[in-house]
Amino acid sequence: MDRIRIVGGNALNGIIPISGAKNAALPLMIASLLTSDTLTLENVPHLADVEGLIRILGNHGVDIAVNGRREHQDGSYSRTVHFTCRTVADTTAPYELVSKMRASFWVIGPLLAREGQARVSLPGGCAIGTRPVDLFIEGLTALGAEMEIDGGYINAKAPKGGLIGARYTFPKVSVGATHVMLMAASLARGTTVIGNAAREPEVVDLANCLNAMGAKISGAGTSTITIEGVTSLSGARHRVLPDRIETGTYAMAVAMTGGDVTLSGTDITLLDTAIEAIRRAGAEVSAVDGGIRVIGHGDAIRPVDIVTEPFPGFPTDLQAQFMGLMTRAHGVSHVTETIFENRFMHVQELARLGAKITLSGQTARIEGVTRLRGAPVMATDLRASVSLVIAGLAAEGETMVSRVYHLDRGFERLEEKLTRCGAIVERISD
């Protein structure tokens, strides 16, 4: 199993190209199940989760062609992938596949809308929490589907003539359930109005792509989304939006190590709340042509309290990284996690580097230390593991991160991007 070795202490200077967003690419790829035409996605990141979903979609009958990668001047790659699902080969998403990647549960929306039925394994819990699917069941039931749980699977069946538009308000904000409702309602008869919808930029990206395919969606990005059902969708060409979590992660890394880095191919407006927190912590962050410039001052980090919330609040997917940054602040900060009940596994690992963190319920109290010391640490989930990389970059000596397959799920060419900016980071394949 690969490990990542980091020798901390170097400031970061240069350009880091930001990839297409994993969490936008996944639902966009799933949307290809809604049409028999070709959906072409540009800026698709090369990540383990994307490759996993390519295999899963293949199982449902999607033909996939990947265009050659071309390296640009700033070191970024663009990858264009064509998805064509002439006919749906299989409406079952088996446990072996869904348990490996939660987002693959979302195929339930397009399969039900296009084929009138789907049998999809329940995903089960995961490292960051129980992650139930009740909101998907309620939402699709509102569109007229019969939903039955049997042997660890959900059997979903649309009424004769297909799903029927309805008004449905989520009792709780869910990104995934909003994606699924957008896809399902696009092919329903009549109009659907979703209340308390997720407002994440990835939801807007999916709505834009569906509209390019012929859907009639308005209000994406607000908490009320209206979808006028259409009888069929066509192909389209769509560019995946930049990864705001990768953007925020590298911005926090620069704030931590010090230095001057331009994050290219990204957009500051995708992560206002996180940028505000990074600025309050003492880094200078500004929008520049085609990206964001971050100037960090390393040793002069100020404590900042954050609370994770659905968009536009502080993203849970940047919580671990921000805690990493706060471990070296001058003073005490608090990080409160409100989205997932068990997203603090990085706390014990950060402690191995010398961080002083105490947990009380959903809040972590972080007492900044003047220095962190490198140590062997273990990645526990995707975002937790990158927080260890950030801390390792600022720690004295060597940090060895094991179980890096978690990182490979969501960070494209991480070692290469950091090394180009002066960090000492290498992958060790055993």
Residues carrying an active site annotation = 126
d(CA 62, CA 155): 21
* Other CB atoms within 10 Å distance of the CB of residue 238: 21
Closest approach of ligand EPZ to the CB of residue 102, in Å: 6
CB of 76 or CB of 316, closer to ligand EPZ: 316
Choose one: 174-182, 350-358, 396-404, 422-430; the region binding ligand EPZ (CB under 6 A): 174-182
Asked if 401 contacts 393 with a C-beta cutoff of 8 angstroms, the reply is no
Query: Is 243 one of the binding residues for ligand EPZ (CB under 6 A)?
Result: no
Q: Which of 45, 176, 291, 354 binds ligand EPZ (CB under 6 A)?
A: 176
Report the phi/psi class of residue 131: left, alpha or beta, with left for phi > 0 and alpha for psi in -120 to 50.
left
d(CA 55, CA 96): 12
Please give the backbone phi and psi of residue 47, each rounded to the nearest 5 degrees, phi first: -140, 155
Q: Which of residues 340-369 bind ligand EPZ (CB under 6 A)?
A: 340
Query: Is 177 one of the binding residues for ligand EPZ (CB under 6 A)?
Result: yes
Alpha helices in 128-243 (DSSP H): 134-142, 175-186, 201-212
Q: Which of 11, 28, 133, 350 binds ligand EPZ (CB under 6 A)?
A: 133
Choose one: 29-37, 88-96, 168-176, 256-264; the region binding ligand EPZ (CB under 6 A): 168-176
Pairing label, strands 424-428, 38-42: unpaired
d(CA 286, CA 258): 15
Q: Which of 32, 91, 316, 380 binds ligand EPZ (CB under 6 A)?
A: 316
Question: Which residue number is nearest to ligand EPZ in terms of Cβ?
Answer: 176
d(CA 229, CA 364): 45
Q: Which of 6, 107, 135, 401 binds ligand EPZ (CB under 6 A)?
A: 135
d(CA 242, CA 267): 7
Query: Is 136 one of the binding residues for ligand EPZ (CB under 6 A)?
Result: yes
Q: Which of 10, 19, 23, 43 binds ligand EPZ (CB under 6 A)?
A: 23
Question: In the complex, which residues of this chain contact ligand EPZ (CB under 6 A)?
Answer: 23, 26, 102-103, 129, 131-136, 172, 174-177, 316-317, 339-340, 382-383, 410
